[in-house]
Structure 1
């Protein structure tokens, strides 16, 4: 649910960006619609002016045509010639067609606003032949009737009417088309107004949607944060439930103890009641004595002794269980063990632990010959160190003979352990011995209590022999707890016996591998 919430939050941000873009587009469209809505009244007014102008031109057309024809017809009428009438008819037809085309060309921007079918009708060509014949008949009729100026004016009016009749369809269609255009513009104005209102509402709604999405993103971000906290709380709840389950088991055990304690509490309640009575009696007596003391204190005149008594009413009397007189005595168990281990390690560098001067009789004699030398040197170094500590460094011990004995025992432990390591491993064995020494320096609790040593190092404390040598030396030097000393000496004996058995086994195996085939020759050489 937490992962899905993060995905939903990311998608919501994308949706918010799209909503902002939509709002910008709606705002731009609303601005354009408002502009168009403001221009439409001017467009409708212009269309109305054009329509009125066309109507005015159409009304004035006969007078204009009559004025133009009046300058040409008198001369033609006076000629009283049919041939001249034919020529005049052709000229008038050309004039009419040309005039009509000029009017259409001038009105072409308006014609483009008409519906397609009306534009096709206006674009059609005029039947010139029919127009010429019609004009010719009217001219001949006018000439035959009368050639006076009055009749000429009548003929001029007839011709003007004829021309007007040929152009009226164009003006009528154009006027009707403009009427439709104007009605469409008015309908468009109404629609644009509604669209403008709708766009304003849409813009307002888009703004509200954008604001709502901002609040949604803010709230959803908070929801995602709280969901993460809820997940962490759920983990803590699960952990707490496990602890509660374990605690319930402890509670069951404690209930039994509580039941047992309740019986003891009942017995103690009786004693408490008796003690309460005694306390009441003692309180009364204390109150009485305090009153007497107050009376006496009021008559007391304080001096320097009184002030000293009040400043230090009690003195602390401390007693040492196993007093260590100086720093050297406290660290002697640690450094004696360290010196004996280092001495045993250095012995392996100058004394060969495997090579023999001749061919040994067997693996047992080979082992004993090596062990005897190392034990002798180990005893010598232990006696030297013990004497140095007692009579040069002047450290007091609880029991001098046991101190010498435990020093020898510790030296033999390190001698046999290092003999086993170096005999079997050579230089790698010496390296392992150095690692053991380093671990013993930190885990034996010779300098600091075991509780302040890191947990990882405390693991090695019960596994290494220096732990028990330090404890034994503390017992024989400071506490005098000889049973505890013998207990640690017994653990060191296990190291001694185990190391000796492993070394003996190695020498027996080594003898069988190296010297068994030459045993007869070896006996012969001894006999010689």
Structure 2
């Protein structure tokens, strides 16, 4: 019993020590457990599954998934475990892995698509088991974000390297384009010279066509006169043949029947008169025919020139047609080259965004240039059509001219025959005159008449034979003159059509020449723009040097925290210290004040020394606070910026909390216990010690300014991590001092008032309730 009694003497001290160290244990173990979780992430298991099959990137095989795994093997951020998909899934469902990172089979292939028109986004699948530990998944999210940033940096480096290499080839391609434009420019210069020469030649040809049309018109008129004269000559010749036949028959009849001399003489006389009249008509026809033949011969003198000119013209037109065919083919090729060049420039402008090239493309494709190119193409087609029509007409003209050669020979024979016929008609007219004179003297000179009649019979026979030949020649002349007229008419019509075609040709050649000038100017401008772009691109591409490395990490975030906090433990220390001191206050009253054995009489409910008891509790609270500060500094290595403020704040907060708890427990009895616990719960959610107040419900924001722990947390933050913000220190300190003064004052006041009331209720010294 004596040993037991001795042991009981130490119990109050053990209780007191326990009450003092409870806040210490609370803060030490909680803060120690959560002091710096990120420093131990290397032990958190995360499964890595690489299913990437690789791909060809820039003509080399790469397995980017495997390369990423190689980097992670040297990364001590997490405990990376490389396994297959099945094991990773089973480990995530169980307790082996907190998360899995899966690299798909098409990872490298999707990244390789950066050089293709249709690009694919590479995807890495991150799966975490949030049910197992939600905070762990949040911490892992931060680590995975760093891995993602590293992968993005690598991919960006690859992308920019590929683009830089492609862009560096641009000046060389532009140089090739410039050389092509230079050749095109020279070609358009030659084209311009050719169209100018073609325009001049077409003008000269048009003048020759005017002369040809005038000549064919004169030829047509002469042929018409020849045709009319031949018809008149044919009529006179028929009459002459008829008269000569009558004369011949009469002379024959005179010779055979002299007895019928008188009658025959009359017949001869009539015949001579008829011959005389016919000869006069024949002579007039021969004169007209000779005049027409002279005009015709004069008109046909130029036929050889026309024939030779038409042959040369046909040869020239064939050469012109071949040249224009080559020219139109060149125009078509030129238009195709312009279209290809424009498309190449447009593709380059779209790829590089070069404003100069974009402007050149806009100039080449504007409505005016397109209209000029279409006009050039239409003029080329019209020129081709016109020269085909010209070639057809010239060949028709050449064929007609060949027939003119034969016609000229016939006209020459006709002219010679007409001369002979005229001479014969002249002789015949003289003979007819002599015959008529002889007939008048016939009666007086019968012998002479007989002789003359014989001569006349011979002459009439010759005349009849000559007139027969003349009639045949005249028939031939009539047919030939008709053919000549028809040919001359066709020749004139063909020449007129050819003249109209020449007008169309000249118009087309003029349009073609204008289009060639505009095309030459446009290509010259484009070539100058491309040369300017080459120089500009070469200068701008210098900026690509080292761009792939730069893009891999273009921005470095310099973390410069204001009033920095090194770890979770330091960040949560103000919150847990406030919580520990409140719990320590509760333990003081639950372990000492409510001690049923009243081991500490001055501190028990039965003590009448209320003021002493109050300050005694405050002293115990100070011991709790000082010991808590020392253990956190020495045991956990808490980094404190202001050591004096750190200890003063802890002591002040401890006294405030004890004063509040004492007021609640002493004067609200059992309800006070409930209020002390309730106030603790409300303060834990409304003091701003963990999450920002902006993230919690409105109710807690309303309670926030009324919670004592709000100001204890604020004061501890200034002491531990602050830089000496005097206004905040005074603000929090004064509010806590005010709370302390009010609660102590109310405690003493309520104690005095209650003691007086109890003395009045028990005036004879009866035992008072043990409630104070």
The one of the two structures with greater contact order (alpha-carbon pairs below 8 A, sep at least 6) is 2
Considering fraction of residues, name the structure with more helix. 1
TM-score by length of 2: 0.27
TM-score by length of 1: 0.39
